[in-house]
Amino acid sequence: MSSTPPVDRPREASPVRCVLGIDIGGTGSRAALEPLDATPGTSRRVLEGARIAVASTGSNALDVAAALVGAAADAWPDAAITAVGVGATGLASLVADPDAATARLSHLAAPGAGVALAVDALTAHLGALDGRAGAVVAVGTGAIALGTDLDTTWRRVGGWGHLWDDRGSGVWVGIEALKAAIRTHDGVTDDARALLAAAEARFGPAHSWPGALLTRADRAGLIAAFAPEVAGLAADGDAAASAIMRTAGREVAATLVAALDPDLPRLASWTGGMFAAAGAYRDAFAAEFGILAPDAALESPSGTPLDGAVRLARLVGAGDLPAGHPPFLWR
């Protein structure tokens, strides 16, 4: 009597243990997934997400983070997300209860996943200085600097919102450009015709700006998106745009120097999309830093804020993250 030989069925591959880093800002957000055992920066998969909005109830940064965690889990079912690191703008000032979000994000990632939430300045610091002590300024939609050794010294400078701060940031540049443009529109000056033309091409006629911009919950990111055009006009030699970009660079340098706490090494770096603006902006930044802190080393960044968010997740996964330190870090 013959028998049917057993059939060898292929085993399903076990999910790969991964970490997820999330970087959330005014102009957009990104999530990066990496295998826990891979060399940092390799085998990375990236998702794009929404930019934050700020209304009377505060920031929706945690909703953006939750959406990205859920999207990552859906997009990559072969990954077991063991740790999540989130860096978000406005987390300390515009989110009511960051502590309550860690359990929510852990549930979305995987049962038992570790989660750390940080202000964007901290993930920017982790990316730029690769975990070393010093000061880093992060300049995108907003501008904030953090001087820290990730232990006992935490010095924040800036990042207090676009209505009265965020000196030298994308939204600051955009607002200064709109201010110059509206003066020329009103006939008070005649030196910002190029800025006025660019602003009207982007936002519509000047008389429509209050309704088009002031009513938007995402107005900071919307206005910051005008900064590259201002930088482009400066690069073409426009005097009004060049003056704005030079002042912005000097303001960012002053913010960074103020974050060099006496208890920290005299080491500094920078990060963020505004540094893509070369010429007047970068030249003014470097020159002003040299004047204000001639004894400090200014190093090019080792990585991006997204790299810093992944590094934060790796610290969580390895159990090497220091205790939570609100208003900079929650876990």
Q: pLDDT of 271-281, one tens digit each? A: 999 999 878 99
The pLDDT assigned to 1 comes to: 47
Asked whether 273 and 89 are in contact (CB, 8 A), the reply is no
Pick from 19-33, 247-261, 282-296: least confident? 19-33
Dihedral of CA atoms 157, 161, 164, 169 in degrees, nearest 10, equals 70
Residue 329: φ, ψ to 5°:
-145, 135
Q: Is 93 exposed, middle or buried (0-12, 13-18, 19+ CB in 10 A)?
A: middle
Q: Global pTM?
A: 0.87
Q: Mean pLDDT throughout 1-11?
A: 52
Look at the chain and count its residues.
331
Helix (H, G, I), strand (E, B), or coil: what is residue 263?
A: coil
**Whole-Å CA distances, 162 to 81, 184, 224:** 35, 23, 10
**Single-letter residue type at 75:** A
Q: pLDDT of 18-71, one tens digit each? A: 999 999 887 789 999 999 887 877 788 999 988 777 776 777 888 888 899 889
Which residues fall within 8 angstroms of residue 55, CB to CB, at 6 or more apart? 217
Q: Who has greater pLDDT, 53 or 134?
A: 134
**Number of C-alpha atoms within 13 angstroms, CB side, residue 79?**
26
Q: Got the DSSP string for 113-180?
A: -EEEEEEHHHHHHHHHHTT-SEEEEEESSSEEEEEE-SSS-EEEEE-S-TTT--TTSHHHHHHHHHHH
Q: pLDDT of 79-130, one tens digit each? A: 889 999 999 887 767 676 777 777 777 777 777 788 899 999 999 999 999 9
**Single-letter residue type at 122:** L
